[in-house]
Structure 1
Amino acid sequence: KDMIITLANDSMKEIWGKGKDIEGKKIITILPEIKDTQIPVLMQEVYTTGIPFQGTEYLVRLFRNEKQEDLYFNFVYQPYYEADETISGITIIAYEVTAQVIAKNEIIEAKKSAEMKTKFAEDAVKAKQQFLSNMSHEIRTPMNAIVGFTNVILKTKLDEPQKQYLDAIKASGDALITLINDILDLAKVDSGKMNFQQISFNLPDSIATMLQLFEIKIKEKNLELIYEYDDNIPEILEGDPMRLRQIILNLLSNALKFTNKGKILLQISLKEEDINSAMIEFALTDTGIGIPKDSVEYIFENFEQAHQNAKNFYGGTGLGLAIVKQLVEAQGGLITVKSELDKGTKFSFTLPFKKIDTKNKTEKEIENAEKKIENLKVLVVEDIELNQLLIKIILMDFGFEVDVVDNGKIAIEKLQGNKYDIILMDLQMPEMNGFEATMYIREVMKSQIPIIALTADVTTVDLEKCIAAGMDDYISKPIDEKLLYSKMIKAFKNMK
């Protein structure tokens, strides 16, 4: 009860660091630093009650080697019984576990730090995504009117200077939209949110359509465009034609920009195939300015161009090739580049596609694909007045009948008293947005009328979200007239 040390082994003496002559002295005298801690209280309780006590990773601050140290112990206090079963003292068994506790705490802190960094990173991604979403919506909304009405005016009778001015406006608008799309695509790929379609398409037709876009510019620069296509490639493939178009257009634009004389060669060949799939290789060779050897390894990085003076002379952000590489690799493909300064460059990439059995196409599908549809009655749900006017002009040019309303609530009222063939639904509107209106049409009205979303936000809105809400498809602003028409016809035919 006086807490006098009667026996201590060498290990305990070494841990305490108070010398070897400690027997016969009070523990408080040897270890004054524990006087105001729980240790004396616990020992007294064990001595009084006879109930052992076990401590785990217990922190004790001891003065040893002339300095204070924080030590951790696992210990057991047990009553010491005499032959007559009376308690005459306590036995202390202790193990120092300081190194283990420090190691464990370091692991815990590292885990907390990693979790915090992960949260910071996730918050940063969310903030970036929100910023890009807002930027996309705020820029695309006015650009929809600028590009759209420019296209409308270009269809009217104009003199040559007027046409040149409008062509310049349209080219600048298209360039701005391309830049926005490039930035958003990079963000999507970086965050793993890039979605790829799996639809059947005619590869030769897709390539021919792309090449038509460059005919005028190639003639203006007095270049030769050579196109070689492997006839062994299946005509109909399944994949993402839009992303393929984006890749090839980026590479063609690059070749055209940096080639002032000579030719551009596009080669498409079947690299390998099995029963279900085909690996296609696309190679684009130009006789342009080439890339310095020390720049080739950086050419696919964001905001990089092979020459700084090329950036100044030719313009551009240096995003195109970075996007091309990410789009190719995200689809399981591979891209390479070979170049010689002042002689030209060759970009080659491979992409896998699924093979489609064209024999299973029904006569009805072929007939529907060729048949043009007119006189559709369309309900447009859009809150911005300029966009209302533009979409109405576009749809009337298609030969469609059009009604326009300001929000989802009015659209539902219109649907209750009128019959429409298809709905074009903006997503961000006052009172009732596009998602809410679509869910009401599907769940309450039980209507299966085709609904195509119109969106200026292509960062957070994708086809899966629209499908989940009950929509059939979506199209981003600025509106591509040909794409809008094809999507409307497809949705209408699927309904029938």
Structure 2
Amino acid sequence: MDNVQVPFYDEQSLKQYYNALEYLPIYVVKLDLDLNVVWANRFAKDLDENLLNHRCYRNFNPDMEQCTFCPVVRGIASKQTEISLIEIVEESDKIFEVTAIPSFDEEGNIDGVFEVRRDVTVLINHQKTKHEPKSKKVKDERFSADNLLDIVTNELREHSENVLELHTRLGSGKMSQDQKLSYASMRTSIVKMQNIMSNITMMRNLNKGIIKSTKKKMSLKDLIIEKFDYYRSKADFNGNNFDYKFDSSIPAKLVFDKTKIDLILSNLIDYSMTHTTNRYINLLTALVDESNEQVKISIKIKNVGSISIHDTVEKDHEVYVRNNLALSVIKNLVESLDGHFKMTPVSGYGVDIELTLVMKKPFTASRLPMFNRITQELRSKKERIILSEQTGKKKILVAEDEPIGRITLEQMLKNDFEVIFAKNGKVAVEKYFSEQPDLVIMDIMMPIMNGFDAFDQIERNSITRVPIIACTAKVINSEKEYLKSYGFDDYIAKPVNLKTLREMINRHI
């Protein structure tokens, strides 16, 4: 399908092409709770014949941080269907709609998730085309408004860089105090013009999709320090005193759009340096509210501008913001991040500028009990493997209340396995979680807690469990069926036959 050329100017052809996509095979895989691929449809296997040997993130994106936004992880965690658009950048941009549908066992417990993925690149482009305002076609596209603005911006940038270079050379000579003031004023104007052109270019590139939004897990404090280091020398040159304060209660790592936050901070500091008259600029960052999932953060600069700006903002706040490029950029970007922008006139001074932004906390296993249990069980499993490699023996837990039964099984197994015993079902459950055996032989009739109840306790408190073999004095056909339907992995009758037991153990571990 990638080789099909779609004439986007032909609405009817595009519509037919999109309708055809509905009938294309879709990529479907099933994942277990450890995020391992356990099943895949034929279309998915054709794309990657080794798919079943992968973990899902390894096949999709090797960056574990991406799991924070992964609809599959969210689907398992919330037990609800999760839908997300994920962009893959290769030779060309591809956009996939990923739907995660949790699957449940007969008892209603989540046992995995289905991931359904389809390419919606054409659909997204179709929707963009459909919603773009219709305008008359220009014969020569080189003279469209968009192209002219790009050309003008680039040429102005080149001229400003030449003027700034010439200006720097002139400043290297001896100057009087008045000349120094004029020089500083002219340099500020040139830099301001460069910032305006950078804003125009950046916003246009964001709108055109050339610069992608970048949601990343990173430190907000590090980003602010980076801005502070960049603007400090510029502040000294302009005669401003620039400093920042960062609330220590803000989490060390947050998930946010670095491209947009970087642009917001740059414009906020630039505007403050250009318009302030009190020569003191302090960037204040504070924690406003916090939940398990996200934090609300305030970023503020106080007493910016002058009395004339105070009066203008007090008279018509919206008009002033709309007519100032830097403030318009800040406001639009903040609102695109579901934040809030506010300018408050301060009596006798200028204005206070405050941004309120909501940022997500990184996804961690400790925030989800189920994933925490998965982590613990994987760690225990790893420890069992290391121990068995060191000793060369697998560990078997035998739950048996009769001494003669324990002695018999010990004689049968001790040469090839490490054997642990439990006198009743209650002790068996405790030793199952403390000893982490590789297999359990469970007597059914035991005091304090019988084999069925012990099995239930282990099953209820495990994401995954080791094989459990039921051991009972009589195994008639009806009882065999009942043990099998109850969930036991196998069953053996007493008195235990050594050959049968060994074959059974080898089959399961």
Using the size of structure 1 for normalisation, the TM-score is 0.37
Name which one, 1 or 2, has greater alpha-carbon Rg.
1
